[in-house]
């Protein structure tokens, strides 16, 4: 019986360093995760816009070179 009561006995609290920063909380972690995901969303939007602009530029250059090629071939 004494073993059962020993398991139920309250544990001693650890000594806390008064100069230590506060321990992180789940709410703090949740806020950090939300901030990180918002930053990732912004970065993803910027990258999508950049890819779109580069694809548009490539299409324009391809069309220009095709027209130039056709003009050179026709004049021969």
- Examine residue 44 and state whether it is found in any structural domain, yes or no: yes
Q: CA dist 53 to 40, 50, 58, 63, Å?
A: 20, 5, 9, 15
Instruction: Supply the range of the domain harboring residue 57.
Output: 28-76
Per residue in 39-55, pLDDT (tens digit) is 999 999 999 999 999 99
Tell whether pTM > 0.75.
no
- Examine residue 23 and state whether it is found in any structural domain, yes or no: no
Q: Which of residues 70 and 7 earns the better pLDDT score?
A: 70
- Examine residue 33 and state whether it is found in any structural domain, yes or no: yes
Q: How many domains does the chain have?
A: 1
- Examine residue 9 and state whether it is found in any structural domain, yes or no: no
- Give CA–CA dist 48/33, Å, rounded: 22
- Examine residue 76 and state whether it is found in any structural domain, yes or no: yes
Per residue in 9-21, pLDDT (tens digit) is 777 888 888 888 8
């Amino acid at each position: 019986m004494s073993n059962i009561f020993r398991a139920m006995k309250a544990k001693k609290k650890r000594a806390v360093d008064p100069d230590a920063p506060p321990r992180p909380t789940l709410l703090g972690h949740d806020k950090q995760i939300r901030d990180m995901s918002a930053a990732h969303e912004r970065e993803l939007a910027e990258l999508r816009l950049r890819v779109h602009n580069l694809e548009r530029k490539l299409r324009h250059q391809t069309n220009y070179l095709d027209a130039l090629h056709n003009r050179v071939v026709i004049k021969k």
